Amino acid sequence: MSHKVYKKLFKARQEMKKASKSGDNSFKKYSYVTLEDLYNVSLPPLFKEGLLVTHPKIYKEGILYLITKIIDIESNEYIFAESILDQSLDPQKLGSQITYFKKYDLGSLLALRTDFDDDGQSLEKIYLNDAQLTVLGALYNKLSDLSKENFLKYYKIDDLKELEANKFDTLLTFINRKLKEEATNA
């Protein structure tokens, strides 16, 4: 493997600016990066380098995954991130979950910040919003009882509503990793 995709990704990343925050949570008084904001800042430099972004959904061993891929169209090399989707959600909530994973997985692959950031202007804690709670809650409920108990102990909480918004990416990664481990060991 020649790793052309990494060279092209590095070149494209150098042209990307900080994503704007057009999303607005008026209830909790903060703005956030939307998937469209992320696409606006990332897709033009990626396309210029011959890199394509896709978000296919696939089934593996009965589990539905969203795969975010950045593909070099010349060499067919790619990098990817995968997230487990909750198939039990109604279509609207599943759509919200897919949008969140597209944004956070692509942001992670590009090393672009997509989570809440108030530049230190607020000292009060900002907790997960309803959409974030829906996404995390759906995945959390799939964990074994022991994993749930360990999760709550580790974060020193009694309820998911006590989790801070700035930990959302880390929480998604942790829960998805744990679900994969549990699926492998089942």
pLDDT number for residue 53: 98
Q: What is the mean pLDDT of each run of 10 residues along the chain (186 residues)?
A: 86 88 67 88 97 96 92 96 89 90 93 61 67 87 89 85 83 87 84
Helices (H), 16-144: 35-48, 91-110, 130-140
Question: pLDDT tens across 103-151, in order?
Answer: 999 999 998 877 654 444 444 577 888 888 888 888 899 999 988 888 8
What is the per-residue pLDDT for 33? 82
DSSP conformational letter for 60: E
109 close to 28: Cβ distance less than 8 angstroms: no
